[in-house]
Amino acid sequence: MSHELTTEQQRLVDQVREFADDVVAPAAYEYDTRRELPYDIIAAMGEMGLFGLPFPEEYGGRGKDYFQLCLAVEQLARADQSIAVTLEAGVGLGAMPIYRRGTEEQKQEWLPMLARGEALAGFGLTEAEAGSDAAGTRTTARLEDGQWVINGTKQFITNSGSRITRLVTVTAVTGEETRTDGSVRKELSAILVPSGTPGFEVGPSYDKVGWHTSDTHPLTFTDVRVPEANLLGERGRGFANFIQSLDEGRVAFAALCTGAAQGCLEEAVRYAHKREVFGRAIGANQHIAFTLARMQARVHTARLAYYDAAHKIVAGERFKLEASVAKMVGSEAAMANARDAVQIFGGYGFLNENPVARHYRDAKVLEIGEGTTEVQLMVIARELGFPGAA
């Protein structure tokens, strides 16, 4: 399989790379310090069509494919992971579930504004007792007079409380089934909840270690009422559908990890060439040169892994194993490269204004979000035929 980019794909990479270098990078430290989502940059990304890359033109998209979305995410993550995850989550968790499983009415209502980057959407899955174990969901939704009545809480929800957030898809228990062995299985469904719906409250933004400009909030639902038609997909298929979305999202997340690892490498290489100690550039020291070589190897491996998974998505092939491998390899590469880059910079790497310091703070969550490293190992083990691995 060839991983050589087509002319069209390379043109996209060059365009987004230039945007990341000229627009995103110069503003990253300021917005990170202010802990504020840069709406002007998000709007510019919308005008470039980045939020609509994998969607058909009839829904306001650009008619490209998922691999091109991944290419764009990688280039943005070189400069700022917060900006990259705003795009990745906005498309993968916000808009893609509506495109994959929404009714035609739901698609027509929501996708054009999401594809143009004029609006953001979140996906409310995680709860205090339901993270990796999504089946532990306690949020409930009952049908009453043609409406879903939702009660519960969600946490760590990306793109859920910005001033352009227009809806959140919520997973909720909509019923229970008693099995023949006496055990009870929860029926989980996904429901669209527009922002501003009475009873839907967005909590204060989290004080996070990193990803300071990414919009992340806890959510509370108190007798929230939405039409029965807001059910997304088939009733009772909410968990299964989310797992499918998560598998797909992990590939774009792996691209983000690769971009972060690449950004750290580029900064470290640049510094190793210009920083002189004892009369010569520090890159002339074998230890520094070998460290940079290992960083390059991590980036190369991570990129090949997500390219492989993304190509399988585009080809309509099974990709669960490849998605978990790419996510795990990519997140570990980003974390290791951030650590090594800070070490190469020395004291300068410990200053928040330095991009590698921001990458260092940001990178840890890459081993947690979209499924922890331990979850990826569990998925990979199961794909190898060990279903009891947990």
Catalytic residues: 370
Residue 350 corresponds to which amino acid?
Answer: F
Residue 224 backbone dihedrals phi, psi, to 5 degrees: -75, 130
Dist. CA 164–CA 161, nearest whole Å: 8
Dist. CA 153–CA 157, nearest whole Å: 11
Q: Which helix (H) or strand (E) holds 226?
A: strand 216-227
Helix (H/G/I), strand (E/B), else coil: 70: helix
Residue 27 corresponds to which amino acid?
Answer: A
Dist. CA 118–CA 60, nearest whole Å: 11
Dist. CA 163–CA 159, nearest whole Å: 10
How many angstroms separate the most distant Cα atoms in the chain? Answer: 79
Residue 344 backbone dihedrals phi, psi, to 5 degrees: -65, -40
Residue 81 corresponds to which amino acid?
Answer: Q
- Hey, what are 380's tokens? 């990979």
Helix (H/G/I), strand (E/B), else coil: 248: helix
Judge whether 272 and 288 are in contact, CB under 8 Å: yes
Q: Is the dihedral of CA 93, 97, 99, 100 positive or negative?
A: positive
Q: Is the dihedral of CA 148, 152, 157, 162 positive or negative?
A: positive
Give the up-direction half-sphere exposure of residue 39: CA atoms within 13 A in the CB hemisphere.
Answer: 7
Dist. CA 231–CA 62, nearest whole Å: 27
Dist. CA 175–CA 220, nearest whole Å: 20
